[in-house]
């Protein structure tokens, strides 16, 4: 009951803030504010934490890097963004992330954030010029407003409110076009939580995303994953937290533009009609299996991914509580394990998909949601406690499968 009352109080504060546009204190990027999502740098040495500013205590939300090796919060290298952000994704150049793209629900925008390293090799986030007091903030010049981009056949704007889900696709080499030289281009997909619309953009290194196309699905889009069929043909999968199905969208590059086409969804039978279904998804290390957090009943759904990109349900692994985030740890020569946060049970499940069964359950902070893996550790966003739990994953570590630290 106490947790329910706390959530209701927070919701009331958000509603009041939205009505009055109240934003309070200067963000402290060395802390976390109701973190939901985090993502690991491909280099494996940094985790980026998204603070949502869920109770509108701060003037902005923010993203903060954590050094995954020495477990220090790089607060001075964080960047302020809008409140209520969704999932972050990286734009890669030769396998290294150069920019982060972040959907912002407050105002329905995309923030484009630069990633760099300081003289000590530590991650630094920025959005252009640094403010006079040293703070970094993403302003309008580094943001894209999503409302009004998509038009229907009658020329009317299509609502694209509450962007949350996001995915960036595999690169394609595009030829020169007029004054524009040849270059590497990627599709970028942004999903509306409220309206169920997926927007498709093209993006080149150093340029802002350019709108291309859209498709309409059901409200509740949560997580998206692109599967590459060929250089010019892709399949996008989208989980839905209000429907017991995975949405499927074909994306193709033709005549210099990305086009999208909705396909039949993959409907998943459930034994408990709760109205609350999918959350996070992740591919296996070899991209042939899809793992998805499912809530009706609580479980990890395991899908095989065939060549046509339409997953086939293999089995459910029974969990409890409210499964939310999913991450895969597959050390060289070791067993692939799947880690699933339980928002209601303040714990992190460990699933061996080969058995398939739960092999461990690790207590973490309150309200764990997102999870990312770096430096042989799992980093868990403890939404309700406003902290990040760190769990050891190396079997040779004496603290294996234990929470070794809770940041800050």
Pairing of strands 72-73, 46-51: unpaired
What is the model's pLDDT at position 3? 53
Distance CA 292, CA 21 (A): 36
Residue 83 φ/ψ, nearest 5 degrees: -80, 160
pLDDT tier at 12 (50, 70, 90 boundaries)?
very low
* From 28-37, 89-98, 113-122, 219-228, the region with the lowest mean pLDDT: 89-98
**In 180-284, which ranges are continuous DSSP H helix?**
none
Cα dist from 142 to 81, 138, 208, 394, whole Å: 10, 6, 8, 39
Across 124-147, average pLDDT: 90
Percent of the chain with pLDDT over 90: 84
Distance CA 91, CA 69 (A): 23
State yes or no: pLDDT of 13 exceeds 80.
Answer: no
Across 272-294, average pLDDT: 93
State yes or no: pLDDT of 352 exceeds 80.
Answer: yes
Query: With contact defined as beta carbons under 8 Å apart, do 358 and 385 qualify?
Result: no
Q: Comparing 407 with 139, which gets the higher pLDDT?
A: 407
Long-range contacts (CB closer than 8 Å, 24 or more residues apart) made by 311-319: 311/237, 311/246, 311/266, 313/266, 313/268, 314/289, 315/356, 317/351, 317/353, 317/356, 317/357, 317/358, 318/358, 319/349, 319/358
Q: Give the model confidence (pLDDT) of 233-250 as tens digits.
A: 999 999 999 999 999 999
* Residue 129 host element (H or E): none
3-state helix, strand, coil in the chain (%, to 5): 5, 50, 40
User: Quick one: which of 60, 55, 58 has its CA closest to 15?
Assistant: 55
State yes or no: pLDDT of 188 exceeds 50.
Answer: yes
State yes or no: pLDDT of 205 exceeds 90.
Answer: no
Query: With contact defined as beta carbons under 8 Å apart, do 340 and 348 qualify?
Result: yes
Count each helix (H run) and each strand (E run) in the chain, helices first.
1, 31
For the chain, give the mean pLDDT: 92
User: Quick one: which of 141, 196, 187 has its CA closest to 163?
Assistant: 196
- DSSP 8-state code for residue 149: S
Across 369-374, average pLDDT: 98
Task: Give the burial class of 184: count Cβ atoms within 10 A of its Cβ; 0-12 exposed, 13-18 middle, 19 or more buried.
Answer: middle
Task: Give the burial class of 177: count Cβ atoms within 10 A of its Cβ; 0-12 exposed, 13-18 middle, 19 or more buried.
Answer: exposed
Distance CA 77, CA 94 (A): 23
State yes or no: pLDDT of 20 exceeds 70.
Answer: no
The per-residue b/e assignment along 277-307, b for 16 or more CB within 10 angstroms, e otherwise, is: bbbbbbbbeeeebbbbbbbbebbbbbbebee
State yes or no: pLDDT of 385 exceeds 50.
Answer: yes
Q: For the chain, what's the residue count?
A: 408
Distance CA 65, CA 139 (A): 20
Q: HSE on the CB side for 45, CA within 13 Å?
A: 11
pLDDT tier at 23 (50, 70, 90 boundaries)?
low
pLDDT tier at 4 (50, 70, 90 boundaries)?
very low
Instruction: Please give the angle made by the CA atoms of 52, 57 and 159, to the nearest 5 degrees.
Output: 50
CA-atom Rg of the chain in angstroms: 20
Across 369-381, average pLDDT: 98
Residue with tokens 């491909």: 42
What's this model's pTM, rounded to 2 decimal places? 0.93
User: Quick one: which of 162, 136, 18, 39 has its CA closest to 80?
Assistant: 136
Q: Give the model confidence (pLDDT) of 306-317 as tens digits.
A: 999 999 999 999
CA end-to-end span of the chain: 27
């Amino acid at each position: 009951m106490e947790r329910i009352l706390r959530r209701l109080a927070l919701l009331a504060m958000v509603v009041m803030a939205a009505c009055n546009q109240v934003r309070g204190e200067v963000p402290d990027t060395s802390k976390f504010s109701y973190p939901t999502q985090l993502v690991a740098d491909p280099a494996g040495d940094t985790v980026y934490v998204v603070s949502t500013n869920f109770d509108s205590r701060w003037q902005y939300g923010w993203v903060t890097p954590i050094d995954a090796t020495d477990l220090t919060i790089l607060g001075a290298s964080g960047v302020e963004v809008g409140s209520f952000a969704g999932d972050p994704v990286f734009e890669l150049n030769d396998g290294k992330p150069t920019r982060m793209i972040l959907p912002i629900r407050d105002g329905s925008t995309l923030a484009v954030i630069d990633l760099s390293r300081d003289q000590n090799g530590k991650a630094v986030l920025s959005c252009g010029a640094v403010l006079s007091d040293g703070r970094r903030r993403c302003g309008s010049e580094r943001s894209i407003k999503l409302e009004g981009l998509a038009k229907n056949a009658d020329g009317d704007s299509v609502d694209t409110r509450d962007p949350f889900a996001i995915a960036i696709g595999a690169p394609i080499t595009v030829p020169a076009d007029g004054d524009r030289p040849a270059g590497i281009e990627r599709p970028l997909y942004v999903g509306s939580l409220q309206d169920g619309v997926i927007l498709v953009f093209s993006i080149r290194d150093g340029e802002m995303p350019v709108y291309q196309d859209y498709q309409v699905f059901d409200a509740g889009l949560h997580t998206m994953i692109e599967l590459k069929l060929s250089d010019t043909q892709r399949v996008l999968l989208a989980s839905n937290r209000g429907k017991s199905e995975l949405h499927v969208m074909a994306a193709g590059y033709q005549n210099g533009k990305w086009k999208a086409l909705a396909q039949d969804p993959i409907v998943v039978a459930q034994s408990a009609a709760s109205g609350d279904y999918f959350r996070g998804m992740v591919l296996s290390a070899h991209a042939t299996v899809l793992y998805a957090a499912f809530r009706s009943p609580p479980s990890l759904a395991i899908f095989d991914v065939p060549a046509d990109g339409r997953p086939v349900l293999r089995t459910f692994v029974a969990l409890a509580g409210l499964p939310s985030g999913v991450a895969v740890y597959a050390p060289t020569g070791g067993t692939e394990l799947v880690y699933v946060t339980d928002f209601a049970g303040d714990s992190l499940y460990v699933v061996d998909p080969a058995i398939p069964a739960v092999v461990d359950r690790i207590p973490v902070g309150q309200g764990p949601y997102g999870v990312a893996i770096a430096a042989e550790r799992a980093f868990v966003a403890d939404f309700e406690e406003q902290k990040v739990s760190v769990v050891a994953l190396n079997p040779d570590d004496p603290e294996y499968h234990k929470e070794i630290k809770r940041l800050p």
